[in-house]
Each structure stands twice: as structure tokens, then as C-alpha cells.
Structure 1
Amino acid sequence: MVDEVRIKADTVLPARREAVTLRTDDGLALVGELALPADRVPRATLVLLHPLPTHGGMMDSHLYRKAAWRLPALADLAVLRFNTRGTVSEAGRSEGAFDHAVGERLDVAAALAFAADRGLPSVWLVGWSFGTDLALMHGCDPIVEGAVLISPPLRWSEPDHLRVWARTGKPVVCLVPEFDTYLPPAEARRRFGADIPTADVIDFPGAKHLMVGHSDKVLDAIVSAAVPEVPTPLPRTWSGPHERRQVTIVTS
């Protein structure tokens, strides 16, 4: 009999995990990983767009490694995470150089093309900080069902980018920390409300931009958006096979 354990930051639940390489139209190879449910067809797919790489963002940023380690088992989700151009993590460095959300358009396109080529179902973009700008600017693709934006700063994206999403009617869910230094909840409601009136802005009381200490609730919100048929809150314990893993944080 397997003892029930608390799911912690270093808990890795069962999944089929594969190191993948995404190929951009300008010839770059991007480092990534695809995690699939261990023994089931995925209900939906999350394509994760990480925070600003010049400030430590990468595919191993804490919310994203937890999503990849937990959600295939807890919510039957496929999770595709990758390093945008020039970004490095334990898995390796993607080719190219950071391009201030411009060249990254091709990185988003490469990830969506990969999802399409693999036949992954019901693709949702999940952006975090810088990744939310990439989603808004470059992610409103026919393959995409909707977007979850974690701590959106609206730094690079312009109102016209938001209006593109509004015209499609695709759902946009914004997870906004109470104490976000870039875009707190009231300002988020004003700015998103002006250009995407249907955007769902969800407050995260007590949270700051990096959502430290709020991972469980963030993952619950992502699941509720992408696969509302899966009950939340997700389980906080696990009684099956699992691993413990520490990630080496690579910064250069």
C-alpha cells in the first residue's frame, strides 16, 4: 500500500515526459518539454509562455515546473513548456537572443505549430508576466481556444493587440496579484475592460507579481479555465507513484 503524501514544490507526479525541440521559421532551435497524462488521452493542452528571461524567467520558473509536474496527473492536461530564444534553463539554452517580444513571435508560432503537428487537443495559452505580452501580441491563432494571463504587466502589448482577442470572442482570464507592482487589480480591470470587455479579471489577495505561496490556487484557476469539467480545488495529496526532484536554476 502506498502512503498518501502531501504534494510539495518538489513533487513530480506520473506523466509521459519528452524533451522536444521547437523549430522557428527563422531557423532557431528552442529547448522544450512535453508532458502528457501517463495513461490517458489529454483533455486539453497548455502552452506555457514564461516570464522575462532577462530577469530570470524560463521554462523552469516555479509555476511552470509545478504545472508540468502535476497537471498531467491531476487534470489530464498536456503541458508544453519551452525556453524562448536565448533563454537558458536546466534543460539547455534555446538558440538566438532575447528580442524584446518581437522575434519571440516566431517562438510562439513554433510552439503552436508543434501542438498542431502532434494533434494536441484544445490548446490554451498560459502566459506569465512577459509571457502574457507574448500571448496577447502573438498568440491569437485559430488553434488557440483561449488564454490565461498570470500577472499581466501590459508592458509590450498595445490596445490593438487586446482588441484582436476581443473580436474573436476567445476567453481571456487574468490572474492579478493584489500587490502587483506593474498592474494591480483595479488598473487591470480598467485597462482590460476598455479593450476586452469580456476578460475575466480574478484577484489574488495577498499575492505579489511572482505568485510565490499561491501556486496551488494559480493551478486551480488555470484548470478551471481550460478544463472546467475537472473539479477544483485540485487534490493537495497523492497516494500513487511519484518522485522528488530539485531543479538547478540556471541564470546564464
Structure 2
Amino acid sequence: MSTEIRSMTVLPARREDIELHTADGLTLVGELATPVNPDGSPRTPAATLVTLHPLPTHGGYMDSHVLRKASWRLPALADIAVLRFNTRGTSSPRGTSEGAFDEGRAERFDVHAAIEFTEFHDLPHPWLVGWSFGTELTLMHGLDPLIEGAILLSPPLHRATDADLDAWSADGRPLVALIPEHDDYLRPEQARERFARVRQAEIIGVDGAKHLWVGEPSVRRVLNEIVGHVRPDFPLPLPTTWDGPVQQADPEEDR
């Protein structure tokens, strides 16, 4: 029997707690979700998302809802592995990462540790997915040789500079920005102006959306855009029902 995929639906995957170790000596906590076969055995992912959460001083963490729903759905729906973690000094139910928030500066070590994890664990075709503050980390620190491209959700462009944008332009790797129509910081027209210096940037304005991507239509739009860029040959839109076992998360934990 088919089950409708709703906000708290958790589809099958292998989910394991992980630790990342930074070059400046910190341990960060996280989770890796990878695809499984119908019998529960591991399946090799087709691509990997390294996710970077919103601003921790304003409630952002690895469980921020879009990133968590990506980990709940994309391993099963699109064979995509999803790595989530708390940047330095950030807490979630998974635990607290060592260190202290540094306005995006020392967080470069956190980004690099996550990317290195994908290499050491043979996770294929890694893409960065940053949300809000996570987009700043992506733009400032994400041009690692292992990364195939980046997707930005609600980029505020507060910390990232024109020099960071110029570096992405010179590099040429894909850079996609999803800009909510009613964003609090950067709206589609402004984003097109700011990102015009990145020759390969794709700016996607999303009608009706807001910075926090609240609501199932917004989440589904984000996940479809992610899959469409990370796996361009994958048939879209993603299914909205699931034939097989599912779990339901606790609504009290949603954020």
C-alpha cells in the first residue's frame, strides 16, 4: 500500500552517527544517511550531498528541517547520500561539536573535514548544499578539488565577498542559487545583480517562498531542484508516495 510522504515521513536508509576531525584539532558530530536495498543491505549511492546548516546563533543546526528532510527522503527516492553535521560549537539532539562559533572564519576547517570524510569513505560525486549561513561557508570555503558543484538555499551574501564570487566564476564549477521571492535578506532581482559576476551561476527565483522554506510545497521544490542538478538524468518530480516501510518522526522535533 502506498503511503503519502508528509513532513514527518522517514523513508528507509542506513543512518549512522559520524564524527569529523578538523585540521585544528576539533571533533564535530554528524550523521550520514545512505541508500539501502529492499532487503536492507547497503546500496552504493549515485551522488553525495555535504550539507551546511543555517546560522547556529539563530537556531541553525544539522537538523534544520530542509536538511533533515533531505536525509529522510533522498537516499530512498534518488539514491543520494546525505551528510549532515554541526559546525563548531553547534548543538543538536545528535550532540555538540567542539569549539566555538567563529563567524565563518575557522569554520573553513569544518567544511574541509566534511569534504575529506567523503573522500575517505568513498562517497561519490559530492556536492555542497548550503542554507543561509551555510551558503556563506560554501562560497568562502567550498572550492575544494573534490567538490563537483554547489547549491545555495537563501544566500544572504553577508560574509561572502565579491572576491569569493569571482573565485567561483574563475573556477567554472556549477553554482546554483535558489532565491525565495519573499526572502528576508536577498530577493531574486538583487540576487541576479550580485551573482552576475559568476558567469556560470544559475539563479532560480522561487515564487511564494520565504527564507526558511516552511511548508511541504517549499521543501518539495528544494529537494526536486537539488536532485535535478546533482543527478540531471534522474526522472522528476520526485514521488510523493512510497510503497514500502516508513517511519514517522516525532512532530515535536520538527523545526
Report TM bin, short chain: over 0.9
* TM-fit CA distance, 1:249: 4.9
Q: What is the letter of the counterpart of residue 205 of structure 1?
A: D
Corresponding position of 2:249: 245
Amino acid paired to 1:210: L
Q: How far did 1:50 drift?
A: 0.2
Tell me the distance in 2 between the aligned counterparts of 1:8 and 1:100: 34
Mapping 1:1-252, distance limit 5 Å: 3-39=1-37, 40-193=43-196, 195-213=197-215, 214-246=218-250, 249=253
Does the 8 Å CA contact 2:173/2:200 hold for their aligned counterparts? Answer: no
Q: Is the 8 A contact 1:89 1:250 kept in 2?
A: no
Q: TM-score, normalized by length of structure 1?
A: 0.96
- Aligned to 2:212, what secondary structure does the other structure show? coil
Q: Quote the Cα distance in structure 2 between the aligned partners of 1:248 and 1:88.
A: 17
Q: Is the 8 A contact 2:131 2:153 kept in 1?
A: yes
What is the total number of aligned residue pairs between the two structures? Answer: 248
* Identity across the alignment (%): 56
Q: Does the 8 A contact of 2:20 with 2:27 survive in 1? A: yes
The TM-score normalised by the length of structure 2 is 0.95
Deviation string 1:93-135 (CA, Å, 9 cap, x unpaired) is: 1111110000100000000011110111101000000000000
Tell me how far apart the structure 1 counterparts of residues 161 and 89 of structure 2 sit (CA, whole Å).
24
Ranges of 4+ aligned residues in structure 1 off by more than 4 Å: 247-251
Q: CA RMSD in A?
A: 1.3
SS of 1:17 mapped into structure 2: strand
Structure 1 residues 87 and 248: CA distance shift in structure 2, 3 A: farther
**Are the equivalent residues in 2 in contact too, given 1:90–1:247 (CA < 8 A)?**
no
The answer (yes or no) to whether the contact 2:28–2:96 under 8 Å persists in 1 is yes
Aligned amino acid, residue 106 of structure 1: F
Cα distance in 2 for partners of 1:189, 1:197 equals 11
Amino acid at match of 1:174: A
Shift of 1:67: 0.2
Q: Deviations over 1:153-207 (max 9, x none)?
A: 00100011111111111000000000112000000000001x2022100011011
Q: Secondary structure at the match of 1:81?
A: strand
Cα distance in 2 between the residues matched to 1:240 and 1:95: 39
Gap regions ≥5 residues in structure 1: none
